[in-house]
Structure formats: C-alpha cells, structure tokens
Structure 1
Amino acid sequence: MPTLPFQEYLDLEAATLREAADVLAAQIDRVSSLNRLYGTMDNDVLTAKGRPDGIFGLGGDDQLRGGSALDLLVGGSGNDSLWGGGGADYLAGDFDDDKLWGQAGHDFIDGGFGNDTAFGGLGDDSLYGFGGNDSLVGEGGQDFLYGGYGNDILRGSDGRDTLQGSFGDDLLDGGLGNDSMSGGWGKDTFIFNGGADVIDDFETGIGANGRPSGFAAEVIRIAIDGIDSFEDVMSHARQVGDDTRISFGGGNSILLEDVQMSQLGSSMFEFF
C-alpha cells in the first residue's frame, strides 16, 4: 500500500535516531577539548572566541553566537537564539521554543523540545526538529530535514534535499532541486514547484486491494505553469511498474512510489 507499514516507520525512525545519537556522542567526546563558555540562569549573550568553542546557555532566553571554528552551542532552558557562524557547527536548542541559524559550514542542528525554527544556511546541513511543532528550512546546499514528533513544516531549497516528516501532520516542500520526501505517519501535505522529486509514502486512502485503507488521503500542492487542474495532472501521468510518474517537462516530475494511477483523485491535488 502507498503508506508504509507502521513497523517500517519505526525502523526508519530508529535508524535516524541512531545516526543523530552517533553525532551527539562525538560532540560529547570533544567537550573537554573545547574552549568553554557558560551562561547563567539569566538572559545571556555569549560569543565564541574564534577557537573551537563550546557555549552553554543554561537558563534564560540566551543569544549564543559561534565563530569561524567548529563550535558547539547548547541553548539550555529558555527561548534561545543560536547562530553557528563559520565552520561545521553543532547547535542544540534543548528546551523551549528556540531559533537556530547554521549560517556557513556543514552544520548539525537539533531543535530539541519545543516549537523550534531552524535555518541551515550555506553548506550541506542536517536539521532535526525532534519534539514540538517545528519549522525547518534547509536554505543552501544538499540538506537533510527531519521533523520528528509534531506537526512540522520542512522546506528545502535548490539542492538535492531529503525531507523526512516522521510522526504528525507535516508540510513538506522540497524546493527546486531533485528531492526525496517522506511524510511519515500522519496526514501530510507535499508542495511541488520544480525538480525531479520522489515521494515514497504518498497515501491515497486506497489500499493495494482496491478497498479503503483506513487512512485519510494526502495532498500535493502543485505550482507549475499550465498545470491548473486534476485533468492536467493526469494528462502528464503514466504508470511505471508499481509507481506513478507525473512528468511536466523541463526536467520537472513527481514519482509516487507504490501508487497506482487509478488510486489518484482530484481531492489529492491543489494548485497555486
């Protein structure tokens, strides 16, 4: 069926969390070698010194700014703002509603708990929302965006991005590159405005046996010139084995894995 079995989502979730845990373990291992700066329980402004720095906000609504080196920034409790600066940085919002900017370099951004907003900036970044209703924006590079638990908004850019909504009713917008998108468990909405995108778990509400699957149909919002109706979509669609490919020309296409054309309906598409 189009939506993957629940166990497959759990396996994917476990693999993603293992990768994140490995990155975190590597950061913990290098803490002792960093030039460390600590905040207080008040609202602090802490700036890196240009060396590989570890900045820990602790309590309060803090502002943490990395430098040109490979920095580790941890907001702690409070609604914090973190800027990575140059270098391949690790930014962790930790608790509450945080804002994180990776800026230059290949950054790893962990929103933590709370409703967080994160921007990757330049470089091939990894953005993890984890808990809360998060907004993740890849910006430049080939980025990996993981929503986690909650109703998240994931937006790629011009690169070849990978978007993984996980659990919740998510909005996924790959941007103009050739992107891979997986909404995860929930009723998700996908935005397509160019590139050769793959959606690997689009739910039509119809099972492989042709009967209702018990899940609500998902939605694809399309922004392509000349494509204004379901009839326009179907005129560009064809069956490729178990998949449906919708080719709009100019290198722009959507591949719906494990979806039969006959399962598609007008309620699954919107146009803007």
Structure 2
Amino acid sequence: MIQHSVKSRGISFEEITPNFVYRATDGVHSFVMVDAEIGLNSSASTIIAMSKSLTYDVLRKANIPAVEHVYLAHPDSKFSNLDPYPIAKDYFHKCNGEAVVKQDNGAQGNHVYRVNEIGDLQEKLDLLFSLQLNGAIGPYYEAEIEYRIVTFNHLARVFLGKKRVHSWKHNLINGAVTIEVRDQAKREALAELASQTSKAMGLDFCSIDILETNQGLKVIEVNHKVMLDEYCKQNPSEVPALSDLYREVILQRFEKL
C-alpha cells in the first residue's frame, strides 16, 4: 500500500534487502527506508519510542497521562549496577499483586506477561533475561478497549479501536478485533492526547496506543513505525484513505531532502 500510494506521482521503490530495505526515488532525489519506517522522525525520538520506560519518562515529565513503565535492566548490563529483581518485587507489591512485565523494547505483544504471583514474576523475569532482553514492569489496568491513534504533523488522522476477544491483550495480530470510534467527544479527547504525546516525543509520524482506565485515558505505548497491515485486513474500505495519508507522508519526506 505504501509503494502504491505514490505510484501516480512517479515515485518508485528499489528493493535492497528483500522485503525489508528499499530506496524510494522520484528520479532526482532518493532516500532509503526500512520496512514501513519512512524516516520522518529523528533518530533520538525513534530510540526513545522503542523503549517503554523511556517513553514513560518523557511523557511523565511533560505531564501527559501515561501507564507507568519501570525499567528493569538485564542483570549483566554494563550500564546499570542495580539488581532488577528487588526493584520488580517492590513494584509488584506496590501494584497490589497484579502487574504486567514485558520486554522494554518489544512490539506486537511479544514477551508481555500479566503476573499476579511472586513466583510467576520471578519466572517471567528469568525468561526475559535468559533471552538477553531488558525488561519493564507496570500496573495492570482492566480495559476491554484500547485505542490506536495515528498522528501526522501532530494531528490525529486515524482513529482505531481494538477490542480484545480471546486474550487480555489488544493486539490485532493476536485476535483482537477493530471497532469504530464514533463518539465525537471521545475522538476529540483522543486527538488531543495523541497530539500532546507526539509533540512531547518529537515524532512527526507515529501511532499512539491509549487505554481507557478507571483513572481516565492513559498512553500505554508510542510506535515510531506506523504498521496498519492487520487493520487494513479487517477494514479494506479504509485502504484508500490510508493510502492518501501515506502519500502525504512520503511527499513530505522528499521535501526534506
């Protein structure tokens, strides 16, 4: 869809690494892109967005409501001499014995675990660290629906509701289903929160996951790479509008060359 969106503008794509790295060219200028990462965002903002804990730190400092994520460095990390196990256990008790442990830089719901026993917490941390991953721990919020808002130049352009079905997670790839966000007041609140978030993170094009908790809307994750494949599969009628959005994004990328 990304490549097709600008075909009429004379922009073509050369595959460099199969199904992963491409060079986009308009015949005069060109840029390389990785997967769906078009390259509008700065490297610093991208690195921050890839970390759940760093994202939370930035949003907290900007007074933006977000789900807390506490960093749990690998025990062998050269950059931290703190033992992650007591940090995690103390936080677990702070959450009244119900928390979420995850890979700090994970995606698509991989290595994300809901824990409600100390033994399970220890087991999941052991698993993460055995894979040479850094972790993060945060509170569990009961939420049937998670929202994904895509922003471009800090304006909300796509509103997506994700309703969990077979799992407590809201990942479409794991079976959640998309729902329309029709309530105008809800859309305005989500748009404002997403705009504030993208500005605080310094991301020109991103998607923002937001939970509706018993404490109000809270940002749970920011994605520097906008992936809407599963959304398009469930909502093929939205493809033309999304294609128009990607066209705007790619043309802006060329303008910056």
Same fold by TM-score, threshold 0.5 exceeded?
A: no
TM-score, structure 1 as length reference? 0.26
- Bigger relative contact order, structure 1 or 2 (CA pairs below 8 A, ≥6 apart): 2
Structure showing the higher helix proportion among its residues: 2
